[in-house]
Structure 1
Amino acid sequence: MPLPIRTDDCALDFLSLGALIHRLDPGVTPFRKARAFDVHVSGGEYNVAANLSDCFGLRTGIASAMVNYPVGELVQARVREMGVTPFYKHFEHDGVRGPNIATVYSDRGQGVRAPVVFYNRANEAASLLKVGDFDWAKIMAGGVRWFHSGGIFAALSENNPELIIEGMKAAKAQGAIISFDLNYRGKLWKPVGGDTRAVETLRRIVANVDCLIGNEEDMQKGLGVKGPEVTKKEESKLNPDVFFGMIENTAKEFPNIKLVATTLRETHSANRHDWGAVLWLDGKRYVSPTAQLDVIDRIGGGDGFAAGTIYGLMSGRDTQQALNLGWAHGALLTTYHGDTTMATLAEVEAFAGGTGARVQR
Structure 2
Amino acid sequence: MALAIRTDACALDFLALGALVHRLDPGVIPFRKARSVEIHVSGGEYNVAANLSDCFGLKTGICTAMVRYPIGDLVQARVREMGVQAFYKYFEHDGVRGPNIATVYSDRGYGVRPPIVFYNRANEAAALLRPGDFDWSQIFGQGVRWFHSGGIFASLSETTAELIIEAMQAARSAGAIVSFDLNYRAKLWKAAGGEKRAVEVLRRIVTHVDCLVGNEEDLQKGLGIRGPEVSRPDASRLDPAVFFEMIQATVQQFPNIQLVATTLREVHSSNRHDWAAVLWLQGQRYVSPTCQLDVLDRIGGGDGFAAGLFYGLLTGRPPQEALNLGWAHGALLTTYHGDTTMATLAEVEAFAQGGSARVQR
Bin of the TM-score, shorter chain as denominator length = over 0.9
1:226 aligns with 2:260: no
Give a deviation string over 1:198-233, Cα, whole Å, max 9, x none: 000000000000000000000000000111466854
The code of the aligned residue for 1:26 comes to P
Q: Which residue of 1 aligns with 2:290?
A: 290
| In 1, Cα distance between equivalents of 2:267 and 2:230 | 19
1:9 aligns with 2:9: yes
| In 2, Cα distance between equivalents of 1:309 and 1:140 | 23
Q: Which residue of 1 aligns with 2:96?
A: 96
Q: Which residue of 2 aligns with 1:61?
A: 61
| In 1, Cα distance between equivalents of 2:50 and 2:136 | 20
Q: SS state of the match for residue 358, structure 1?
A: coil
The code of the aligned residue for 1:76 comes to Q
| In 1, Cα distance between equivalents of 2:29 and 2:359 | 30
| In 1, Cα distance between equivalents of 2:120 and 2:45 | 18
The code of the aligned residue for 2:185 comes to R
Q: Which residue of 2 aligns with 1:359?
A: 359
Give a deviation string over 1:133-191, Cα, whole Å, max 9, x none: 00011112210000000000000000011100000111111100000000000100102
The code of the aligned residue for 1:6 comes to R
Give a deviation string over 1:287-341, Cα, whole Å, max 9, x none: 0000000000000000000000000000010000000000000000000000000
| In 2, Cα distance between equivalents of 1:167 and 1:24 | 30
Report if aligned partners of 2:141, 2:174 keep a CA contact under 8 Å in 1. no
Q: Which residue of 1 aligns with 2:27?
A: 27
Q: State how 1:1-361 maps to structure 2 within 5 Å.
A: 1-228=1-228, 232-361=232-361
What TM-score, normalized by structure 2, do the two folds share? 0.99
- What is the CA RMSD across the aligned residues, in angstroms? 0.9
Give a deviation string over 1:76-119, Cα, whole Å, max 9, x none: 00000000000000000000000000000011001111100000
| In 2, Cα distance between equivalents of 1:335 and 1:348 | 13
| In 2, Cα distance between equivalents of 1:14 and 1:229 | 35
**Are the structure 2 counterparts of residues 232 and 173 from structure 1 closer, same or farther at C-alpha, using a change threshold of 3 Å?**
same
| In 2, Cα distance between equivalents of 1:318 and 1:139 | 29
| In 1, Cα distance between equivalents of 2:322 and 2:55 | 15
Give a deviation string over 1:18-43, Cα, whole Å, max 9, x none: 00000000000110000000000000
The code of the aligned residue for 2:264 comes to L
| In 1, Cα distance between equivalents of 2:29 and 2:177 | 42
Give a deviation string over 1:33-60, Cα, whole Å, max 9, x none: 0000000000000000000000000000
Q: SS state of the match for residue 340, structure 1?
A: coil
5+ long unaligned stretches in structure 1: none
1:282 CA drift (Å) = 1.1
| In 2, Cα distance between equivalents of 1:10 and 1:108 | 39
Segment of structure 1 superposing worse, 1-10 or 220-229: 220-229
What TM-score, normalized by structure 1, do the two folds share? 0.99
| In 2, Cα distance between equivalents of 1:233 and 1:246 | 21
1:5 CA drift (Å) = 0.5
**Are the structure 2 counterparts of residues 108 and 301 from structure 1 closer, same or farther at C-alpha, using a change threshold of 3 Å?**
same
**Are the structure 2 counterparts of residues 267 and 132 from structure 1 closer, same or farther at C-alpha, using a change threshold of 3 Å?**
same
The code of the aligned residue for 1:331 comes to A
5+ long unaligned stretches in structure 2: none
Runs of at least 4 residues of structure 1 off by over 6 A? none
The code of the aligned residue for 1:298 comes to R
The code of the aligned residue for 1:179 comes to S
**Are the structure 2 counterparts of residues 260 and 132 from structure 1 closer, same or farther at C-alpha, using a change threshold of 3 Å?**
same
| In 2, Cα distance between equivalents of 1:251 and 1:51 | 28
Report if aligned partners of 2:264, 2:275 keep a CA contact under 8 Å in 1. yes
| In 2, Cα distance between equivalents of 1:247 and 1:233 | 24
| In 1, Cα distance between equivalents of 2:137 and 2:179 | 19
Give a deviation string over 1:221-255, Cα, whole Å, max 9, x none: 00001114668542111111100000000010000
Q: SS state of the match for residue 338, structure 2?
A: coil
| In 2, Cα distance between equivalents of 1:157 and 1:230 | 32
The code of the aligned residue for 2:64 comes to S
The code of the aligned residue for 1:276 comes to A
| In 1, Cα distance between equivalents of 2:17 and 2:144 | 13
